[in-house]
Amino acid sequence: MLLDYGTLRIIWWALLGALLIGFAVLDGFDLGVAMLHPFVPKNDQQRRVLLNSVGPVWEGNQVWFILGGGAAFAAWPALYAASFSGFYLAMFLVLLGFILRPVSLTFHSKMESETWRRSRDWGLFFSGLVPSLLFGVAFGNLLLGAPFNFDPMLRLNYQGDLLGLLRPFALLCGLVSVAMLAMQDASYLAMKSDGEIAARACRYGVTAAIVLILAFAIAGVWVAYGVTGLSIETPIDPSGPSNPLTKSVAAETGGWLANYRAAPIAAAAPALGFAGAVVAALALWRRAPGAAFVSSSFSVAGVIATAGFSLFPFLMPSSTRPDHSLAIWDSSSSQSTLTIMLGAVIVFLPIVLAYTSWVFYVLRGAVTEEAIERKDDYYY
Amino acid sequence: MLGLIATRSIDTPVEGIKPLVAHAREQIENGLLAYKWLAAQGEAPAAGVPKALETPMSNLGHALLLKRIRPDIENATPSQIQEAAESTIPDVPVLFWSFRVMVALGFYFIALFTAAFYLSWRRRLNTPWFLRIAVISLPLPRIAAELGFIVAEYGRQPWVIDGVMPTFVGVSNVPATNVLLSLLGFLAFYTTLALVDLLLIVKYVRLGPEPDEETLHRLAASPVSAH
């Protein structure tokens, strides 16, 4: 084995974060297009500009979600089991949104009738809003801890339900997520359109960025004064067996900030989250969508990394049995699995990144109403 | 099951099952040894598995088969072990027919596409009898896929991971109402989509296919068009 177990676990923790960020940066603007759909365009032609701004790329972007789920399944099986069973109905709603979105996209222009297209439009709105909100709610619940424990056979026992997820702090995290993805999309849309649509996208983008900054700041204060954070008390063996029942855990209000005291450099993540959003808002205000998209993407990365850094080394804390919380040292798959999968990532991730970049390069430039009118059948 | 895959004849699988049950019984007894040893470890586990228990350790999953009969499996009686061993017998007639129909369909598809290839090569793909058969064959791949699902998933029962984890041990504690809710949700959702799809299919069938190049050439060549 080239790498020891503990290092592999850190690498896979970072990879899971990177995949989530990749998903939020790319699929974020798909979800955003869906969310902004009832608001930005004012007529059917403009609606089709919105649809076609993501038309050729949404499918590839959505695969990042599957990749994230796949990485969790292969590298963090206990996390996969606990989150997919624990957030069962929430996951069902996310899936519903994910299925409804492509359907709304591809069916939109297939019929002329006004009710048809309106129902598709609101389908899109639902399919963008619900997953965006629930992703944030899920992260909020990770910080709050989820009600689960293990029996002696290491079988998972989950006590929560869907309404139990919708706690005030979690809903605030949902707002962070919705605002963040709306900002991400507004920047993207401003880049991919012109005239009236781009101007309106910029205005919505500025609002979304301001909401993001406020909500993210309130969430930070809340984490410091109102959320219980955990830390591992017993000695940690980074290469120990994957059994989450062998440690004991201390709980303390504001405990999630301990990592920033221990390693102040980690504060770069929330700083990036704020700075990226501020620059994105300014760039949108000055109608510089390219700069806005780049800084918005950095903001997205910063916000997600903040959640990861705060929780580290925990992946999924338990609120009912904190000792049973999943930490990266005790809930990974085996060393050989992590090694083989890392090899696959090293080979394939650059390929995926290369062709994704190539697709975006080929499709650069704005989608215009004239282009859609010229080749009606070609577009969504 | 093994006899089935080897597809010797109708009566061999029934013969082959008896030794399989005897083997399963042995594995369950072995697995129980490992289970009892693990249960005795308690708070301070030993560093390694004793040499004598290395083989029984790989049969741990078989011991778990007893959990369906009684929770305190270390006290299982010989007749209960026999009962657990017999629970490994799959539903032979269902698997027998599912597998054969699936394979028959597979051969049928090969024949169909050989015919399609031949007709396409002779540029006679629009032969009416062939088109009729092609339309009738539309649901068959779905049926073959479902039968394959039955062979793989139903045929593996009572295991969710063969020899490692019985299905009833692998079930999560998600409440049944939630599972029902998601099932009904998907059912309603996909039914709506199917109806919408049907609407669109009817619309596009009514529009008809775009004329191919040959037809366009013919139309262009004829001096007076019909309209």
Q: What is the per-residue DSSP string for chain B?
A: -HHHHHT--SSHHHHHHHHHHHHHHHHHHHHHHHHHHHHHHTTS--SS--GGGHHHHTTHHHHHGGGGT-S-GGG--HHHHHHHHHTT---HHHHHHHHHHHHHHHHHHHHHHHHHHHHHHTT-TT-HHHHHHHHHTTTHHHHHHHHHHIIIIIHHTTEEETTTEEHHHH-----HHHHHHHHHHHHHHHHHHHHHHHHHHHHHHHH-PPP-HHHHHHHHHSSS---
> How far does the CA of residue A215 sit from the closest CA of chain B (Å)?
32
Residue type, B161: I
Residue A99 has pLDDT above 80, yes or no: yes
Confidence bin at B130 (pLDDT 50/70/90): very high
pTM: 0.82
| Residue in chain A lying closest to B169 (CA) | A155
Q: Which residue in the set A85, A92, A161 is minimally distant from B185, CB to CB? A: A92
**Sequence-distant contacts of B154-163: CB under 8 A, at least 24 apart:** B154/B90, B154/B91, B154/B94, B154/B95, B154/B98, B155/B1, B155/B90, B155/B95, B155/B98, B156/B90, B157/B90, B157/B91, B158/B65, B158/B68, B158/B87, B158/B88, B159/B61, B161/B61, B163/B27, B163/B59, B163/B61, B163/B62
Q: Which residue in the set B169, B172, B186 is minimally distant from A156, CB to CB? A: B172
Enumerate residues 164 to 183 of chain B having a beta carbon within 8 A of any beta carbon in chain A.
Answer: 169, 172-175, 178-179, 181-182
Strands A326-327 and A314-316: antiparallel
> How far does the CA of residue A230 sit from the closest CA of chain B (Å)?
24
Confidence bin at A221 (pLDDT 50/70/90): very high
How far is the CA of B74 from the CAs of A217, A291, A302, B25, B60, in angstroms?
A: 56, 67, 53, 15, 12
CB pairs under 8 A between A and B: 40
Q: Which residue in the set A85, A89, A103 is minimally distant from B181, CB to CB? A: A89
What per-residue confidence (pLDDT) applies to A309? 94
What per-residue confidence (pLDDT) applies to A213? 95
Residue A279 has pLDDT above 90, yes or no: yes
Residue pointed to by tokens 């591992």:
A232
Residue B210 has pLDDT above 80, yes or no: no
Per-residue pLDDT tens for A288-345? 888 999 999 999 999 999 999 999 889 999 998 899 999 999 899 999 999 999 999 9
Per-residue pLDDT tens for A7-61? 999 999 999 999 999 989 988 888 888 888 888 887 777 888 888 888 778 888 8
Residue A100: list chain B partners with CB under 8 A. Answer: 189
Whether A99 sits inside 8 A of B189 (CB atoms) is: yes
Assess contact for A165 and A157: CB atoms under 8 A. Answer: no
Distance (Å, whole) CA A131 – CA A177: 10
| Residue in chain B lying closest to A82 (CA) | B172
* Range name among A124-128, A269-273, A280-284, B143-147 with the lowest pLDDT average: A124-128
Residue A156: list chain B partners with CB under 8 A. Answer: 172-173
Residue B148 has pLDDT above 90, yes or no: yes
Residue B2 has pLDDT above 60, yes or no: no
Residue B4 has pLDDT above 80, yes or no: no
Whether B196 sits inside 8 A of A107 (CB atoms) is: yes
Which range, A63-67, A154-158, A358-362, B133-137, is most confident? B133-137
| Residue in chain B lying closest to A104 (CA) | B193
Confidence bin at B1 (pLDDT 50/70/90): very low
What per-residue confidence (pLDDT) applies to B6? 52
Whether A158 sits inside 8 A of B182 (CB atoms) is: no
Task: Report, as an integer, the average pLDDT of A346-364.
Answer: 88
> How far does the CA of residue A159 sit from the closest CA of chain B (Å)?
9
Task: Report, as an integer, the average pLDDT of B205-216.
Answer: 74
What per-residue confidence (pLDDT) applies to B21? 85
Task: Report, as an integer, the average pLDDT of B82-96.
Answer: 87
> How far does the CA of residue A345 sit from the closest CA of chain B (Å)?
26
Interface test with B, best of A80, A108, A155 (most B CBs within 10 A): A155
Per-residue pLDDT tens for B17-52? 788 888 888 888 888 888 888 888 766 666 677 777
Residue B109 has pLDDT above 50, yes or no: yes
Residue B226 has pLDDT above 50, yes or no: no
What per-residue confidence (pLDDT) applies to B3? 47
What per-residue confidence (pLDDT) applies to A50? 80
Those residues whose C-beta lies under 8 Å from the C-beta of residue A121, and which sit 6 or more positions away, are A37, A38, A47, A104, A108
Q: Which residue in the set A107, A158, A161 is minimally distant from B173, CB to CB? A: A158
What per-residue confidence (pLDDT) applies to B44? 63
Per-residue pLDDT tens for A172-186? 999 999 999 999 988
- The ipTM (two decimal places) reads 0.76
Cα–Cα–Cα angle for A240, A243, A249, rounded to 5 degrees: 90
Q: Is B201 on the interface with A (CB under 8 A)?
A: no
| Residue in chain B lying closest to A149 (CA) | B173
